[in-house]
Amino acid sequence: MNNFAKIRISGTIEILSGLHIGGSTAFAAIGAVDSPVIKDPLTNLPIIPGSSLKGKMRSLLAKAYNQKLAQMPNEDDWKITRLFGATSGGGDDGKQLIAGRLLFRDSFLSNKNELSSKGVRTFTETKFENTINRITAVANPRQIERSIRGSKFDFEMIYELQSEEEVAEDFQTILNGLNLLELDYLGGNGSRGYGKIKFNHLSAETVFGDYDVSGLNSKLEG
């Protein structure tokens, strides 16, 4: 029997403190923000790249699951590598690809109208910060752009079901990763208060194949 299926996990990412995920400064004009956020070129609104979610979630799970410090992602616990992918020894070139079971989508701002109704006219803010040279005491001011508190982004990832025996364990790993993201931070400068997030309205839906997700939704709602 073919157990292959794809399950969409979706919801909302709510920004609880200013979020900075950097974009390019290659062509910044004089007087422009030193460190802008990445934006959708079609709307000029901030986005959360799927790569940022994937990388931070994997990093946090590695701290929680690995029995010893892993020098390379390939050394992560099997519960992590089967979700996020890796390479291992084997094949003609000495490496064999382990395809991950999780696919992360970019997240786009979803509550622009709600923010506008509250008087918001710009969907990012510029935070001025200083670093002080300990020897000379000279200040080095900089401007950091952040997605504003109260912003909400559509969240979606696809889980590829390959083994029904491992679904429950995989979903527990996913839930642990999402919980760790809420307890930590996303983006940069988290030790200074940036990047606190919350996942809301999470749900699972089978979008290919035949798998009953009622049990998974019970876990997500819990």
| Digit-coded pLDDT (tens) for 63-111 | 999 987 767 778 889 999 999 998 764 444 455 678 899 999 999 999 9
Phi/psi for 154 (5° steps) reads -65, 135
Q: Cα separation of 210 and 95, whole Å? A: 33
Q: Per-residue pLDDT averaged across 15-19, rounded?
A: 97
Q: Residue 205's pLDDT band (boundaries 50, 70, 90)?
A: very high
Question: The domain containing residue 162 runs over which residues?
Answer: 5-221
Q: How many domains does the chain have?
A: 1
- pTM value is 0.86
- How far is the CA of 31 from the CAs of 34, 35, 187, 198, in angstroms? 8, 12, 24, 34
Q: With contact defined as beta carbons under 8 Å apart, do 113 and 5 qualify?
A: no
Judged by DSSP in three states, 144 sits in strand
